[in-house]
Amino acid sequence: MSALSRLTPAIEPGTVWLVGAGPGDPGLLTVHAANALAQADVVVHDALIGEGVLALAREGAVLEYAGKRGGKPSAVQRDICERLIALARAGKRVVRLKGGDPFVFGRGGEEALALAQAGIRFRIVPGVSSGLAALAIHGVPATTRDTNHAVVLATGHAAEGAGGTDWAALARTGAPIVLYMAVSTLPSIAAGLIEGGLAATTPVLVVHAATSTREEIIEASLAELPALAQAGRIASPAIVAIGAIARVRAALAEHLLAYRQAASA
Ligand SMILES: C[S@@+](CC[C@H](N)C(=O)[O-])C[C@H]1O[C@@H](n2cnc3c(N)ncnc32)[C@H](O)[C@@H]1O
């Protein structure tokens, strides 16, 4: 047993670990996440998990894809929870592998509640959330003392309709905004932020497929975002950072080493 593998407890049969896989690069897995993959009987994973991460699963482990299908997210989410419960009741050592951090826009909270209600014991292994990783690797600090003392992490998924996010109110906080799942709603989000007083010239950094070999970066202003989105220039998955922090990158760029992963994700 290596010194690193001793850091993680054994997964007990009949329990579920909700594990964050980070943004894609296997090098950004936590030690606990890598050790959990090396132990699990079954790995139930989402769509955004890179092959490089899944390749770290124990030989003989069953890999089950649990992505959303057919535009029925709530029904499928219930199926996923039921599957986790069934696997645990069958005595399996289950890793539920979720992109980024399992408790940041990942429905990890819903799955933990379902497990608790079913009397299944579980553990949470935090992961590096894509919203912070995508910025950090490209020289954008989520906070600096000069620019901001708060940062907003928001989903664009709830942008439209009843119960949607009040973007104008978020703009008025003055805090930079880091958007997840916002590609299809960027035009209305940008309009709401400008309505709330955010300058049309506010800098924006978009990172598509952060830390993967397909990664793309776009620098723009808030006013340019809708046209970029409507022209199909911003593909999912993407993180969109809006605010003065996006400008810090320019000051670091000359000396910041390009992000490279050792193996493809
Ligand atoms: C269902 S949310 C899951 C977020 C995840 N729990 C996390 O902490 O990163 C999926 C969204 O996360 C973002 N995302 C996840 N991985 C990403 C990556 N490698 N690059 C850019 N965005 C990513 C995208 O906004 C995507 O639509």
Which residue in the list 25, 46, 92, 98 is annotated as catalytic? Answer: 46
Q: Can you list the alpha helix ranges (DSSP code H) found in 145-185?
A: 167-172
Rounded Cα distance, 224 and 242, in Å: 12
User: Ligand 1 atom closest to Cα of 22?
Assistant: 9
3-state helix/strand/coil string of 192-214? HHHHCCCCCCCEEEEEECCCCCC
Best residue among 239, 240, 242 to mutate for probing ligand 1's pocket (most ligand atoms within 8 Å of CB) is 239
Name all residues whose Cβ lies below 6 A of ligand 1: 23-24, 48, 98-101, 104-106, 129-131, 134, 180-181, 207, 209-212, 236-239
Rounded Cα distance, 189 and 157, in Å: 10
Rounded Cα distance, 49 and 237, in Å: 12
Q: How far does residue 236's CA lie from ligand 1's centre (Å)?
A: 9
Q: How far does residue 129's CA lie from ligand 1's centre (Å)?
A: 7
Can you give the pLDDT at residue 74? 58
Q: How far does residue 191's CA lie from ligand 1's centre (Å)?
A: 23
- Please indicate whether residue 68 is annotated as part of the active site: yes
> pTM of the predicted model, to two decimals?
0.94
| DSSP string over 5-37 | GGGSPPPPTTEEEEEE-BSS-GGGS-HHHHHHH
User: Ligand 1 atom closest to Cα of 208?
Assistant: 21
- Please indicate whether residue 181 is annotated as part of the active site: yes
Contact 99, 26 (CB under 8 A): no
Q: In order of start, what are the domains of the chain with their CATH numbers?
A: 5-128 (3.40.1010.10), 131-252 (3.30.950.10)
Residue nearest to atom 10 of ligand 1 (CA): 181
- Please indicate whether residue 101 is annotated as part of the active site: no
pLDDT tens series, the chain, 265 aa: 789 999 999 999 999 999 999 999 999 999 999 999 999 999 999 988 989 999 999 999 999 999 655 455 555 889 999 999 999 999 999 999 999 999 999 899 999 999 999 999 999 999 999 999 999 999 999 999 998 999 999 999 874 554 689 999 999 999 999 999 999 999 999 999 999 999 999 999 999 999 998 999 999 999 999 999 999 999 999 999 999 999 999 999 899 999 887 755 4
The DSSP letter of residue 152 is E
Residue nearest to atom 3 of ligand 1 (CA): 106
